[in-house]
């Protein structure tokens, strides 16, 4: 069974593009075209510059040409493995960050040791919010700035992303990971209605297509836990989607 991903994924604002500095430059190295598409489109949408490569050789070339700040690197490449590519890239470019893309089961054991020093790995399938969040996190670490506040708030609800806690009117509320992720997405888009499709694409994995009403089910779960302690916050726009609305 598929499951939503959320480990470590931070919030992602939809639609806004950072404008206050040069966009970070990301190189995507991955041999499956559809995945390259998804990653490139998503990164560009969020204001990054993205280049792509589908082989190890291409990766080296593209890196020389575009000098990326960060590389999203599939560990299973047709013409050589990702470790070697990583080693070559690091040898040739100072201060280059790497995030590995890897199949779920081989993740922990294989990648673990190599991500010391601030880099990261993402297991496939992922959800897009997670990728953006990790890319941002890694870039932030390598070029430290003012840390962003990690608390999202709306009405009397507070969600702390780093502490992984939720409170309503000061009272702690226990959420499962998927519920947490869904609430975070609603909070990030607090002033607007988001469609079920948008929710699905941001909270669940990119290749997850339910035959059934997962989103509705989780909205129902959230309501039960959240709206128990006060006036209802989650509103349904029939035929459109869901959103948050301050009571009154």
Partner DNA sequence: GCGGATTCTCAACGAGCTCACAAGTTCGTC
Partner DNA sequence: GACGAACTTGTGAGCTCGTTGAGAATCCGC
* Residue 193 touching a second copy (CB under 8 A): yes
* Residue 148 touching a second copy (CB under 8 A): no
**Full DSSP string of the chain:** ------TT-----SS----SSPPPEEEEE-S-HHHHHHHHHHHHHTT-EEEEESSHHHHHHHHHHH--SEEEEESEETTEEHHHHHHHHHHHSTT-EEEEEEESTTIIIIIGGGGTTT-EEEEES--HHHHHHHHHHHHHHHS--PPPP-EEEETTEEEETTTTEEEETTEEE---HHHHHHHHHHHHTTTS-EEHHHHHHHHS-TT---SS-HHHHHHHHHHHHHGGGSS--EEEETTTEEEE----
> Minimum distance between the CB of residue 232 and a second copy, rounded to whole angstroms?
14
| From 2, 153, 169, 240, residue interacting with a second copy (rule: CB under 8 A) | 240
> Minimum distance between the CB of residue 145 and a second copy, rounded to whole angstroms?
10
Binding at 197: pick from a second copy, DNA, none (beta carbon under 5-8 Å per type) = a second copy
- Count of residues in the chain: 248
> Minimum distance between the CB of residue 205 and DNA, rounded to whole angstroms?
7
| From 118, 149, 231, 232, residue interacting with a second copy (rule: CB under 8 A) | 118
Residue ranges binding DNA (CB under 7 A): 1-4, 176-179, 196, 204, 208, 210-214, 216-217, 219-220, 223-224, 236-241
| From 25, 45, 223, 227, residue interacting with a second copy (rule: CB under 8 A) | 45
| From 20, 21, 22, 117, residue interacting with a second copy (rule: CB under 8 A) | 117
Query: Residues in the site for a second copy, rule: CB under 8 A?
Result: 6-8, 15-17, 19, 33-34, 37-38, 40-45, 83, 86-87, 90, 108-109, 112-119, 128, 141, 144, 147, 162-164, 176-177, 191-193, 195, 197, 200-201, 206-207, 209, 237-240, 243
């Amino acid at each position: 069974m598929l499951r939503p991903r959320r480990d470590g994924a931070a919030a992602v604002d939809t639609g806004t593009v950072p404008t206050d500095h040069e966009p970070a430059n990301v190189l995507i190295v991955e041999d499956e075209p559809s995945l390259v598409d998804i990653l490139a489109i998503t990164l560009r949408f969020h204001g990054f510059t993205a280049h792509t490569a589908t082989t190890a050789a291409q990766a080296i070339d593209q890196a020389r040409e575009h000098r990326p700040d960060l590389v999203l690197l599939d560990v299973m490449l047709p013409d050589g493995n990702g470790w070697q590519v990583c080693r070559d890239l690091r040898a040739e470019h100072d201060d280059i960050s790497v995030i590995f893309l890897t199949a779920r089961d081989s993740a922990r054991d294989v990648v673990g040791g190599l991500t010391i020093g601030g880099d990261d790995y993402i297991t496939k399938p992922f959800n897009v919010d997670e990728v953006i969040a990790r890319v941002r996190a890694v870039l932030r670490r390598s070029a430290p700035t003012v840390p962003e506040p990690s608390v999202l708030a709306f009405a009397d609800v507070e969600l702390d992303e780093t502490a992984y806690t939720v409170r309503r009117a000061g009272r702690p509320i226990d959420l499962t990971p998927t519920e947490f992720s869904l609430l975070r997405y609603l909070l990030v888009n607090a002033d607007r209605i988001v469609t079920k499709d948008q929710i699905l694409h941001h909270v669940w994995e990119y290749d997850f297509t339910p035959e059934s009403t997962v989103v509705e089910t989780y909205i129902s779960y959230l309501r039960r836990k959240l709206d128990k302690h006060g006036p209802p916050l989650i509103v349904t726009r029939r035929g459109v989607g869901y959103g948050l609305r301050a009571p009154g």
